[in-house]
Chain A
Amino acid sequence: MTVSLPASLDRAYHVAAAELGFSSAARLFVSETEAALGAEGVEALRHSLGRRFPVLDAVAAMALRGESAALPDAAAAREALEGLTRVLVVGIEADALDALGPLPPRVKTGLLMHRSVGVVDWGRVAANLEGDWELVPMDDYQRWAGSRAGVLTFAYGVAGGVAHVSPEYLRLIGGDTRSQFRALIAWDLLPGGTEVYPRWLAEAALDLFSTVV
């Protein structure tokens, strides 16, 4: 392997993953590396960061297999959210939230201000989203509960009765919380799952969700 990658790659991906999400940052890094260095560059990227960042590893592997990393399809997620008047999103995935677009005006949307990956400029995250998004502190989430309220989070592979999700979801969903929301939705952005140990992610039993899309 003769391709030389920047020493800052690890930190740069970490910065991007904290505020864009693992999947969105991976798509960005793979496409930029491919455009600059071709498949050899993507191979080097995978070799260099894959073990440390499993979602990046999976997205790079898809690119090397010639499977284009298409934008997340939001139709199923929108369908799962139908009938809700309050939606609390847990975790950040820029591409998925952009694809989701603004929900109908009667639906109140909030983003849980909790991230276990790195420093996040929450004001900037909210400013990027279409529609009116409220930033919700962890100690205020119960205000969002109700019979027509739902929680939406992102999964990175579903298999063997578990989904891999960002740890924030487990911070939120305790036994007391589950019964307070009508819908608990996991939006799987990496259907094939990760090939290496899912560092940074947490296993959530599928019975912690009402719907997986």
Chain B
Amino acid sequence: MPAARVLLPAILLCTLVAQAVAPRMRLLIALSGAALSVLASVATRTATPGQLLADVPYGVLLILAGLGLLATLMAEGRVFGPMAVRVARAAEARPQRVRFAFALAMYVVSGLVNNLTALVLVLPVLLVLLRTGDVRAPTVRWTLGLLLVACNLGGAATPIGDFPAILLLARGSMTFGAYLMRALPMTAVALATLFAVVHFVARPERGVADDPLARRLSLAVVGALHRGVRPQRGPLVPSVVALGAMLLAWSFLPASWGVSPDLVCWIGVCAALLARGRSGERLLRQRFDAEPVLFLFALFVMVAAVKRAGVFEALGAQVLALPLAPRGRLAVFLLSAGLLTGIFSAGPGMAALLDVAEALTRELPGPAVYVGLALSVCAGSSLFLTAATSGPLAQSLVERAGLRDPQGEPVRFGFADFLPVGLVSFVVIQTVALAWGMLSAG
């Protein structure tokens, strides 16, 4: 067992570092690392393959896959494009208003559906505005950066928005309502603070004169490019009805009935797809995105191996043994969670840290630890462009759009360009997470 306590965490750590260094190979790296973990577990007599596979929280994977399919169905309903055009019109193509309106819209959308799908459909409208308007590099960077951070905050605002919160819901660490009531206000506070910091401190539009004709033409082009795009009731109605029913079931079904959150999602998504008949079958066969499910499956296998070796138990005991008051221990844990997530991204961060968090709930209220952890993971996801999956996706979409400033110079949106936004966002969200933890720890 002592060898396993070194070997299995080492495999997990090496895999996490490798996937962070080579994100384009991350799925293959994670699956290979998981296979190696299982082999090492067998060799050190830590666990059998059957035991490790039984430890995987399949409910989490089910919810993740189900919500992904529902988001794809909504995308077929063409609701996001017209929504983005309305947002652009409401903002009158003024850079400050565009930034806040799109960030707010993505915050709301990301709380309900997979933010990658929403981003792929909303970003093209925003990119048309940026390509046709007189915008400078700072405006582009803060607008796109804030959009990504708003996606992360929206994902942390509800129990179904993103993986960390889904994990808490599916494992039964918190109920739907209990998480929502606490995380929603906290993420809203963080977003409002970020808006204020960008508007009053960063001021990306400093010294830029307003050009009404440029704005008018931008809006006219956006309108013309979407003149005939209408929401399609066929795919939209079943997806919205199913999501609404699932939200109600998650919120109000008594736990004593035994209908778990993953079963609610399973039934809801099947009902929505069945309502589409053959189109539903085709969507399931051809458009199901297996990548996040396989990636998290691999992580869960590695985490299960480390857990079987007793490492998380020991780590939890060490955190509890820190010569600090319980709230001090929580603060150290939350800050570490934020920084680790920044390096390893949200999935690995949350999967590995939840067991340590459980140890902390022995001496602190569960919501203080779990919501604090979800917020810290959100802070870490916002630190670097590579920390959240939506970052590289946004980067490639922006590169393809070929944005240029008024002088014709290319405007890039890479790791270094995002960094100022990431640092500000990390400080703001991590501060909110710590404040939440300290205030709610009693």
Contacts and interface: CB of A to CB of B under 8 A. Distances in A.
Interface of A: 5-9, 11-12, 15-16, 19-20, 24-25, 28-29, 32-33, 35-37, 41, 94, 98, 119, 121, 124, 127-130
A6 B211 contact: yes
Contact of B228 (A24, A41, A128): A128
B402 interface: yes
B325 interface: no
A35 to B, nearest CB: 8
Given A8-B214, A11-B404, A119-B401, 13 more contacts: A6-B211, A8-B132, A8-B134, A8-B135, A9-B217, A11-B132, A15-B221, A16-B224, A20-B221, A25-B224, A94-B224, A124-B229, A128-B229
> Does more than half of chain A's interface fall in helix, strand or loop, or is it mixed?
helix
Given A6-B134, A8-B133, A32 B228 contact: no
Interface in B126-153: 128, 131-135
B213 A33 contact: yes
A12 B132 contact: yes
A32 B221 CA distance: 10
Nearest to A27: B224
Nearest to B211: A6
The residue in B78, B132, B216 that gathers the most chain A C-beta atoms within 10 A of its C-beta is B132
B220 interface: yes
B217 A124 contact: no
Nearest to B406: A7
A130 B224 contact: no
Nearest to A20: B224
Given A8-B214, A11-B131, A32-B220, A127 B124 contact: no
A6 B228 contact: no
A121 B123 CA distance: 12
B140 to A, nearest CB: 12
Contacts of A5: 213
Interface of B: 78, 81, 124, 128, 131-135, 211-214, 216-218, 220-221, 224-229, 400-402, 404, 406-407
Contacts of B134: 6-8
A119 B401 CA distance: 8
Given A6-B217, A24-B224, A28-B224, A15 B229 contact: no
Contacts of B213: 5-6, 32-33, 36-37, 41
Contacts of A12: 131-133, 214, 217-218, 221
A8 B407 CA distance: 9
B228 A98 contact: yes
A46 B214 CA distance: 16
Contact of B400 (A15, A98, A119): A119
B271 to A, nearest CB: 27
B397 to A, nearest CB: 11
The residue in A12, A19, A25, A35 that gathers the most chain B C-beta atoms within 10 A of its C-beta is A12
A132 to B, nearest CB: 13
A183 B402 CA distance: 38
Contacts of A15: 128, 131-132, 221
A130 to B, nearest CB: 7
B388 to A, nearest CB: 24
Contacts of A32: 213, 216-217, 220
The 5 closest A-B pairs by CB, nearest first: A6-B214, A7-B406, A12-B132, A128-B228, A8-B134
Contacts of A20: 221, 224-225
A119 B166 CA distance: 37
8 contacts: A6-B406, A12-B132, A12-B221, A15-B221, A16-B221, A20-B224, A124-B225, A124-B226
Contact of A8 (B226, B229, B401, B406): B406
A32 B93 CA distance: 15
A92 to B, nearest CB: 11
A35 B213 CA distance: 10
Contact of A28 (B124, B214, B220): B220
Contacts of A121: 124, 225
B402 A128 contact: no
B223 to A, nearest CB: 9
Contacts of B78: 127
Nearest to A41: B213
B221 A28 contact: yes
Nearest to A10: B408
Contacts of A130: 228
Contact of B216 (A36, A127, A128): A36
Contacts of B214: 6, 8-9, 12
Nearest to B400: A119
A127 B400 contact: no
A65 to B, nearest CB: 22
Contacts of B216: 32, 35-36
A12 B219 CA distance: 11
B67 to A, nearest CB: 23
B132 A16 contact: yes
A39 to B, nearest CB: 14
A41 B78 CA distance: 36
B28 to A, nearest CB: 29
A41 B134 CA distance: 17
Nearest to B128: A15
Contacts of B407: 7
